[in-house]
Chains A and B, each alone.
Chain A
């Protein structure tokens, strides 16, 4: 099945800083999603972005499907941005299952 690599694994940011999180995929990207898992465990859908660029407030994401990667940009970070960010792609060889990365642990300090 598809392998998903996220980087960096851990990130500490000063409030107000910008950051970029990256996902690399070992196979063709399909139905790519970005999630934010808050401290209570809830996974919040950030983007459904099989290709191209989308923006939602201070967050934006870009997927370059032909090069098998996706980026999540966080601008003007706030303490509420802390948590774990996951990317996931549908595994075309895996019965529609989503293949998750190990996550980016982000801590934003005031």
Chain B
């Protein structure tokens, strides 16, 4: 149980385009989903927290207009990187939790974004 999927696993795009990443909880209802970014050989950095049906809460320094998050259902959240630039290249990982986000988090396999 507690499986989280992410799609796509890898994406290469041109500078200026937008990229959408999907995060799905496959066998449980995720009241809260989290989006992280990870640079090589570093720890995970939380970008934003989203609760189903409400606006995401962004961490300090994360541009909400740059990283659009939608959590329209209890099994799906999306992260859209708008007008991507090379500095947005990174490994993006989502996690999902039930119980209002107070329970354990389960992580997706990640999406490696490369912006040319």
Please report the C-alpha to C-alpha distance between residue A86 and residue B107 in the assembled complex, in whole angstroms: 13
Assess whether B110 is in contact with A96, with CB atoms less than 8 Å apart. no
Number of A-B contacts (CB under 8 A): 52
Judge whether A96 and B93 touch: CB under 8 Å. no
Interface status of A76 (Cβ within 8 A of chain B): no
Number of interface residues of A (CB under 8 A): 20
Tell me whether A103 and B43 are in contact (CB under 8 A).
Answer: yes
CB distance from A17 to the nearest CB of B (A): 24
A96 touches B106 (CB 8 A): no
Inter-chain contact B46/A45, CB cutoff 8 Å? no
> For residues 61 through 106 of chain A, which have their beta carbon under 8 Å from a beta carbon of chain B?
86, 90, 95-98, 100-103
B61 partner residues in chain A, CB cutoff 8 A: none
Q: Shortest 3 CB-CB distances between A and B: which pairs? A: A43-B107, A48-B104, A96-B101
C-alpha gap A103/B40 in the complex (Å): 12
Min CB distance B91 to A, Å, is: 6
Question: Which residue of chain B lies nearest to A38 when distances are taken between CB atoms in the complex?
Answer: B109
Q: A41-B110, A44-B107 are in contact. List 13 more A-B contacts (CB 8 A).
A: A41-B91, A41-B93, A42-B107, A42-B110, A43-B95, A43-B107, A45-B2, A45-B107, A90-B102, A95-B49, A96-B100, A96-B101, A97-B34
Q: Is A31 an interface residue (CB 8 A)?
A: yes
Interface set, chain B 24-75, CB cutoff 8 A to A: 32, 34, 38, 42-44, 46, 49, 57, 59
Interchain CB contact under 8 A, A100 and B44: yes
Assess the A100–B43 pair: CB atoms within 8 A.
yes
Asked if residues A86 and B44 are in contact (CB atoms below 8 Å), the reply is yes
Q: Check A101–B109 contact: CB distance below 8 A.
A: no
The reply to whether the CB of B7 lies closer than 8 angstroms to some CB of chain A is: no
**Judging by beta carbons under 8 Å apart, are B93 and A43 in contact?**
yes
B85 at the interface (CB under 8 A from A): no
Known contacts: A41-B110, A41-B112, A45-B2. The answer to whether A33 contacts B105 by CB under 8 A is: yes
B107 engages A97 (CB within 8 Å): no
Distance in angstroms from A43 CB to nearest chain B CB is: 4
